[in-house]
Chain A
Amino acid sequence: MRDAFPRGAAAIVGSATFGLGEAPGFSNFDLAAHASIRALAAAGLRPRDVDGLFIVVMDETLAALNFADYLGIQPRFTDNCRTGGSSFQIQASIAALALAAGQCDVALIAYGSNQRSAAGKLISSTSRPSPWESPYRPPRPIAQYALAAARHMHQYGTTKEQLGAVAIAARQWARLNPEAFLRDELTMEGYLSSRMICDPFGARDCCLVTDGAAAAVMVRRERARELCERPAYLLGAAAETTHREMSSMADLTVTGVARAAQRAFAQARVGPADVDVVELYDAFTINTILFLEDMGFCPKGEGGRFVCGGSIAPGGRLPVNTNGGGLSCVHPGMYGLFTIVEAARQIAGSCGERQIPGVDVAIAQGNGGELASEAVLVLGSEATL
């Protein structure tokens, strides 16, 4: 089976975040616009230069039309991918293909959500409640992820303390990130004593509910260095759709990341040993364990042991979620674009105190639904071309 991708044909030349945490008084599009203008400015560009528009927001079905109008543009390539939090990775891959084919010259990927300030709680999606699940009142999405965690603990002996190691590592990175929402120290005692919500998850196993926006600008490789000192080139991109209902997920301990990562690594011609930083979608602590296993950083079932002993925390052998992740940095409903921005920033060398020296290869992974859509991007510095 052919699985080609135009390796290095396109690059991120500007990226930005805006309104992380609490940003009252802004609409989703206001927030997305702020992030977009900053990302474009970083590349010396303006909205009028954008001819490929990629956006999704949680509560507007025709978001791309709204946002094109807001920015005052009439893009010749428009995409409104709705696969949940993996949408952005898929949009980046579509942008790369569109750029490579000449279907657009400047691609803008944007997201914004005011869910915390506007509603004060998790915004329910525009999906119809499942008639097969909703009668049992599983609080969505935590219950679905809890079922995956319970299965992993049963099959592999993963422990609460190992889930706690994920939460603690995320917090340690967040403490190095001035943009992160939660920056107080999190100890194992603090983690274990937090209120249980849906076994085995307590409050500190769950991602935040914040406002926030992000944007990334992509151009073809030939133009990247003209606009940016250290572009992040898209070397590989792959996504897998596996299910929607939790009962349709064949094995709750193996996600679509396994195949997506294999494909993306093959396209990029790199492997786990070449990766300098991993930015993944930690909606819940179990995600980090599952995704690191499925990406091949450790054997299936060993993820709990792998994340212990500070190995994914600052100073550890594999930096994971260097911004603090969805668990401690930001999570405005959909998080995937933030992994892309952090990966690009690490390659660009603009991460300040949390910067990993000499990042050449970064993973930016997105997750949609409940482990249902998994998308992996492999980004590389110029040295990887």
Chain B
Amino acid sequence: MAADTHPEEEFFAFLAEGRFMLQRSRESGRCFFYPRVAEPLSGCTDLEWVEARGRGTVYSTTVVRQKPPTPSYNVALIDLEEGPRLMSRVEGIASEEVRIGMAVKARIIRESDKPLLVFEPA
């Protein structure tokens, strides 16, 4: 991958194709998130996109309360199996039932006309 790519654009383009991809440094072999033009700390620009396994663990979670009858929703930080952490939402379970340490797996949905990466209990 050339150094002058557009990581943010590419991440969401992959997502629109139904693919959850992560950048990996060819130098360290490590994945990182969020997508950027170079690996954090090393600055390595020799990067490749790899298919994320989609498995993770809930690192933290909160419930955003809404004025009834609008339902509350979940916001969580997920630790991916590959190492990086990202913010997402855990679905398929009541927002209050999401627990730190819960095993989750990724799913790509469509929301507000855009692809969105979410997670559900594994």
* Residues of chain A whose beta carbon lies under 8 Å from any beta carbon of chain B: 131-133, 135-139, 143, 146-148, 150-151, 154, 195-200, 245-248, 252
Residue pair B64, A151 in contact (C-beta under 8 Å): no
Residue pair A199, B87 in contact (C-beta under 8 Å): no
Q: CA–CA, A143 to B74, complex, Å?
A: 10
Residue pair A245, B87 in contact (C-beta under 8 Å): yes
Indicate with 1 or 0, residue by residue over B1-12, a CB within 8 angstroms of chain A CB atoms.
000000010001
Q: List 19 A-B contacts (CB under 8 A).
A: A132-B33, A132-B87, A135-B114, A137-B64, A137-B73, A138-B64, A143-B62, A143-B64, A143-B75, A150-B62, A154-B100, A154-B101, A196-B63, A196-B65, A198-B63, A199-B63, A199-B96, A247-B34, A252-B77
Q: A199-B96, A246-B77 are in contact. Are A132 and B34 (CB under 8 A)?
A: yes
**Which residue of chain A is the closest to B79 with respect to CB atoms?**
A247
Residue from B8, B12, B62 in contact with A147 in the complex, judged by beta carbons closer than 8 Å: B62
Give how many B residues have a beta carbon under 8 Å from the other chain's beta carbons: 27
Which A residues touch B101, using CB under 8 A?
Answer: 154
Tally inter-chain residue pairs, CB-CB below 8 A.
72
Q: At the interface, yes or no: B111 with Cβ under 8 Å from chain A?
A: yes
Which A residues touch B34, using CB under 8 A?
Answer: 131-132, 245, 247
Which A residues touch B86, using CB under 8 A?
Answer: 132, 247
Given contacts A199-B63, A247-B34, A252-B59, 17 further A-B contacts (CB under 8 A): A131-B8, A131-B34, A135-B114, A137-B75, A143-B62, A148-B60, A151-B60, A151-B100, A198-B62, A198-B63, A198-B64, A245-B34, A247-B33, A247-B86, A247-B87, A252-B60, A252-B77
Residue pair B65, A136 in contact (C-beta under 8 Å): no
Which B residues touch A146, using CB under 8 A?
Answer: 62
Which A residues touch B111, using CB under 8 A?
Answer: 135
Residue pair A136, B59 in contact (C-beta under 8 Å): no
Q: At the interface, yes or no: B85 with Cβ under 8 Å from chain A?
A: yes
Residue pair A133, B87 in contact (C-beta under 8 Å): yes
Expressed in whole angstroms, the minimum distance between the Cβ of A143 and any Cβ of chain B is 5
Expressed in whole angstroms, the minimum distance between the Cβ of B81 and any Cβ of chain A is 15
